[in-house]
């Protein structure tokens, strides 16, 4: 795969290519449903933006950057070249994308060769064959911060109608990003709960083993495990798993519940 070659797309994007007049809202909904996680959704969203906002005279690449309180910065791109440029901008700590996020306003780089802002970053942009950039922030109603970054190989690649179209795309995409973020949060909560239940199940089983071996009560057995955890500087669940393994040979016993 070359640096500018788009990543493989999913069914929703393949369907858009086959039916270019399909409603954008329907395609966005399908992307949310088909994506396996937030990262997958953002990569597909970047590819969708590149497909939707390109024209026969101006092939556009796209990066999407999302900042959440829990995960920090998450970025995705329609191809590897702009993905590297987005990551480089984050390393620099400034650029059109981050400026659009900070000020919640559209930022346009008309010609990267003559852009006086972010001079070091612009030099890298031009060396990578990018002539103009358009950064469009997404309104996520305070749930997170996000921006769509559009890259054109041509200086003056974004006209007034192009900016209007990108702004409209961002407005419609924002709702799907919010939904994808909420689904991601629910998945994370579910995974945390599953891990907590599994950990508790393992500890309870180990407590029972210690009670049987030492003919003691539950509190005394639990203190035995916690003392071992503290003295060895090992997590309590790992100590409990070792106790179970010493009896049953199971390295990681399954919890007593169905997910």
So what's the pLDDT on residue 245?
87
Residue 63 pLDDT > 70: yes
Inter-CA distances, 37 with 140, 169, 180, 250, Å: 18, 22, 8, 31
In a domain, 5, yes or no: no
User: Is residue 259, in this structure, part of any structural domain at all?
Assistant: no
- Judge if 209 and 96 occupy the same domain: no
Q: Classify residue 68 as exposed, middle or buried by CB count within 10 Å of its CB (0-12, 13-18, 19+).
A: middle
Alpha-carbon distances, residue 172 vs 28, 49, 199, 225 (angstroms): 8, 11, 42, 54
In a domain, 6, yes or no: no
The confidence score (pLDDT) of residue 2 equals: 43
pTM assigned to the model: 0.67
Average confidence (pLDDT) over 166-183: 89
Domain harbouring 160, CATH code: 3.30.450.80
Instruction: For the beta carbon of residue 189, count every other beta carbon within 10 angstroms.
Output: 10
Residue % of the chain over a pLDDT of 70: 84
Q: Does 126 lie in the same domain as 52?
A: yes
Which CATH number covers residue 244? Answer: 1.10.10.10
Measured CA to CA, the distance from residue 209 to residue 116 in angstroms comes to 70
pLDDT in tens, 129-143: 999 999 999 988 877
Whole-number pLDDT of residue 23:
78
Q: Which residue has the tokens 């996020």?
A: 101
What's the pLDDT band for 159 if we cut at 50, 70, 90?
very high
Q: Is the pLDDT of residue 258 over 70?
A: no
Judge whether 57 lies within some domain. Answer: yes
Q: Is residue 68, in this structure, part of any structural domain at all?
A: yes
Q: Is the pLDDT of residue 17 over 50?
A: no
What ranges make up the beta strands (E) of 120-206? 132-138, 145-152
Q: What is the mean pLDDT of residues 74-87?
A: 89
Does a structural domain hold residue 3? no
The domain containing residue 226 runs over which residues? 196-248
- Mean pLDDT of the region 215-243: 87
- Residues 171 and 205 reside in one and the same domain: no
Cβ atoms of 213 and 224 within 8 Å: the answer is no
* pLDDT confidence band for 46 (50 / 70 / 90): very high
How many Cα atoms sit within 13 Å of 70 on the Cβ side?
A: 8
Q: Is residue 118 domain-shared with residue 183, that is, in the same domain? A: yes
178 and 90 together in one domain: yes
**175 and 208 co-located in one domain:** no
> Same structural domain for residues 22 and 108?
yes
- The rounded distance, in Å, linking the Cα atoms of 3 and 113 is 21
**Residue 254 confidence (pLDDT):** 47
Place of tokens 């390109």: 54
Please indicate, yes or no, whether residues 123 and 205 belong to a single structural domain of this protein. Answer: no
Total domains, the chain? 2
Please report the sign of the dihedral spanned by the C-alpha atoms of residue 160, residue 163, residue 167, residue 172: positive
Residue in the structure block whose two tokens are 């089983």: 205
Give the pLDDT mean for 1-15.
49
* Strands of 84-172, DSSP E: 107-109, 132-138, 145-152
């Amino acid at each position: 795969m070359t640096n500018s070659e788009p990543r493989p797309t999913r069914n929703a994007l393949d369907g858009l290519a086959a039916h270019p007049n399909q409603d954008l809202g329907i395609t966005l909904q399908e992307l949310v449903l088909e994506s396996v996680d937030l990262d997958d959704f953002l990569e597909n969203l970047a590819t969708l933006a590149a497909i939707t906002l390109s024209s026969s005279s101006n092939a556009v690449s796209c990066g999407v950057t999302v900042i959440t309180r829990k995960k920090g910065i998450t970025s995705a791109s329609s191809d590897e070249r702009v993905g590297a440029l987005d990551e480089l901008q984050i390393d620099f700590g400034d650029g059109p994308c981050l400026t659009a996020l900070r000020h919640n306003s559209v930022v346009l780089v008309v010609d990267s060769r003559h852009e006086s802002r972010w001079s070091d970053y612009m030099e890298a942009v031009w060396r990578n064959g990018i002539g103009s950039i358009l950064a469009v922030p997404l309104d996520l109603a305070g749930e997170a911060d996000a921006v769509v970054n559009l890259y054109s190989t041509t200086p003056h690649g974004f006209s007034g109608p192009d900016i209007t179209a990108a702004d409209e795309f961002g407005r419609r995409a924002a709702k799907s990003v919010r939904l994808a973020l909420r689904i991601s949060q629910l998945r994370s909560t579910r995974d945390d709960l599953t891990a907590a239940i599994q950990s508790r199940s393992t500890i309870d089983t180990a407590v029972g083993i210690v009670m049987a071996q030492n003919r003691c009560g539950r509190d005394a057995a639990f203190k035995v495990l916690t003392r071992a955890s503290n003295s060895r500087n090992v997590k309590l669940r790992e100590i409990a798993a070792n106790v179970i393994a010493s009896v049953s040979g199971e390295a990681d016993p399954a919890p007593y519940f169905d997910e």
